């Protein structure tokens, strides 16, 4: 959903109206996730691949 006119997403600014004005600059594609540590299949995965049903 789009950011509303009043919220606390400080990544987009500290004023209450900043997120609604600035959230459009967030690049959401392509987006990858790094899975590492004590896991069976560490690596960098595309988010859309992780969201696919099995």
SS (H, E, C) 1-54: CCCCCCCCCHHHCCCCCHHHHHHHHCCCCCCEEEECCCCCCCEEEEHHHHHCCC
Residues whose CB is less than 8 angstroms from the CB of residue 9 and which lie 6 or more positions away in sequence, other chains included = 3, 19, 23
> Residue 2 has what pLDDT?
59
The string of pLDDT tens digits covering residues 7-53 is 666 778 888 778 788 888 888 788 899 999 999 999 999 988 888 88
Reply yes or no on whether the pLDDT at 3 is more than 60. no
> Residue 39 has what pLDDT?
95
> Residue 8 has what pLDDT?
65
């Amino acid at each position: 959903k789009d950011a509303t006119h009043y919220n606390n997403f400080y990544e987009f600014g500290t004023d209450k109206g900043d997120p609604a004005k600035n959230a459009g600059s967030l690049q959401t594609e392509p987006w990858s996730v790094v899975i590492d540590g004590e896991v069976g299949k560490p690596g960098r995965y595309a988010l859309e691949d992780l969201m696919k049903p099995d």
